[in-house]
Amino acid sequence: MKVLSWHVHGSYTTSLVQGSHDYLVPVVPDRGPDGRGRADSWDWPAQAREVTPEQLAHEEIDVVIVQRPHEVDLVERWTGRRIGTDLPAVYLEHNAPPEHAVRTRHPVVTDPRLHDVVVAHVTAFNAMAWDCGDARTTVVDHGIPDPGPRYTGTDASLAVSVNEPVRRWRVAGSDIVLDLASTVPVSVYGMKSEELGAIAEERGLAGLDRSRCHDLSQDALHDAMARHRAYLHPYRWTSLGLSLIEAMMLGMPVLALSTTQAPEAVPAGAGVVTNDLERLRATARRLLADPDEARARGAVARAHALEHFSLNRFLADWDRILKEVAP
């Protein structure tokens, strides 16, 4: 099939374009949000092809994967065809409801053009939380390429992966990161992570400063994370977070809040999943002090991730949906 899909989330799209289809990825001159084109920091195969809006008007498209409400308008404007009428579509919902968790209606409910579109949620929590009305919904759990068991744990510190931690503050749990950094060393990876390091310096925190904040390519990030003793996933409100799955596949023990999908994604024995911040702190200190326990818990995490979040299962799920929508 020829699948039209925007580059919205780099890590997710990296997995998606590993499939057996031709993927049309819109690109605009400034490579802004509506046309980022191919990623330059991830390994994308040749079947992920950049197309301009002008080229899209002449492309044969079998199915569209919609990820944001305004893409419905982009499809009509750039291709001259309408979602649901001229083009089969799937609405890929990456996020948990952004406002009130049980009152937020999904675009498939509020936009008449999307009423017959299947919604693919990335977690069972999201499928439960969103009000999708009578729309047909399905869940495609995350799947990622196996980065390999790179864990060494030689650096007795915590790794955190979060983009724009200051802007996303309590949603991303950045305040929890600073709390832990008052007693244990923490390194933060992601876009604008140095802003959190600057706040830590202002507060005089012993465990975090700008020198411990980095924005790396995916492969370099995996190597860097794997050197840390454990991975901290402090998000209060997120679908799940591919960085958590990546950490488990690397063989890292993980510490996470017991929110959204994390309690089902992290198995017993892989670390700790809790909303008790004192227990989170205590577990962090114990793992940093005991490399043998950390390694054993990381092995549990990797085995679980390989079983539940494999790329092959993920792509098979997407093949099933695409064939149902555009037979």
Separation between Cα atoms, residue 44 and residue 33, nearest integer Å: 18
The pLDDT value given to residue 219: 86
For range 172-181, the mean pLDDT: 97
Distance CA 318, CA 256 (A): 28
Q: Which two tokens stand for residue 215?
A: 């924005």
CATH of the domain at 127: 3.40.50
Strand ranges (E), 19-78: 22-26, 48-51, 63-66
For residue 99, pLDDT over 80 is answered with no
190 and 53 in a common domain:
no
pLDDT at residue number 101: 77
Q: Is the confidence at residue 42, as pLDDT, over 80?
A: no
- Nearest-angstrom CA–CA distance, 141 and 146: 15
Query: Is 177 in the same domain as 220?
Result: yes
If asked whether residues 139 and 161 sit together in one domain, one would say no
Q: In what order do the strands lie in the sheet with 22-26?
A: 48-51, 22-26, 2-5, 63-66, 89-93, 118-121, 137-139
For residue 149, tell me if it sits in a domain. no
- The pLDDT-based confidence of 48 (bands split at 50, 70, 90) is very high
Instruction: Return the higher-pLDDT residue of 61 and 41.
Output: 61
For residues 264 and 319, state if they share a domain.
no
* Distance, CA of 176 to CA of 281 (rounded, Å): 10
Number of Cβ atoms within 10 Å of the Cβ of 84: 17
3-state SS record for 79-140:
HCCCECCCECEEEEECCCCCCCCCCCECHHHHCHHHCCCEEEECCHHHHHHCECCCCCEEEC
289 DSSP 8-state letter:
H
Separation between Cα atoms, residue 300 and residue 199, nearest integer Å: 35
Q: Are 134 and 48 in a shared domain?
A: yes
pLDDT given for residue 69 in this prediction: 96
pLDDT 10s digits, 284-305: 999 999 999 999 999 999 999 9
Structure tokens belonging to residue 200: 């830590």
Q: Is residue 150 a part of any domain in this protein?
A: no
User: For residue 100, what pLDDT is reported?
Assistant: 80
Q: Considering only CA atoms, which of 288, 173, 301 is closest in space to residue 246? A: 301
Task: Count Cβ atoms below 10 Å from residue 29 Cβ, excluding itself.
Answer: 7
Which residue range forms the structural domain that includes residue 84?
A: 2-143+311-325
Q: Is the pLDDT of residue 218 over 90?
A: no
Percent of the chain with pLDDT over 70: 100
Q: pTM of the predicted model, to two decimals?
A: 0.93
**Residue 150, pLDDT above cutoff 90:** yes
C-alpha–C-alpha distance, residues 320 and 327, integer Å: 10
Mean pLDDT of the chain: 95
Q: How many Å apart are CA 3 and CA 162, to the nearest integer?
A: 29
Residue 263 · residue 254 · CB < 8 Å: no
Q: Quick one: pLDDT at residue 271?
A: 96
CB-based contacts of 110: which residues, under 8 Å, 6+ apart? none
Q: Is residue 159 part of a domain?
A: yes
Q: Is the pLDDT of residue 217 over 90?
A: no
Which residues share a beta bridge with 92? 120
Residue 59 covered by a domain: yes
Q: 116 and 6 share a domain?
A: yes
Number of domains in the chain: 2
Specify the CATH number for the domain of residue 165: 3.40.50.2000
With a cut of 90, say whether residue 327 has pLDDT above it.
Answer: no
Q: How far apart are CA 258 and CA 279, in angstroms?
A: 12
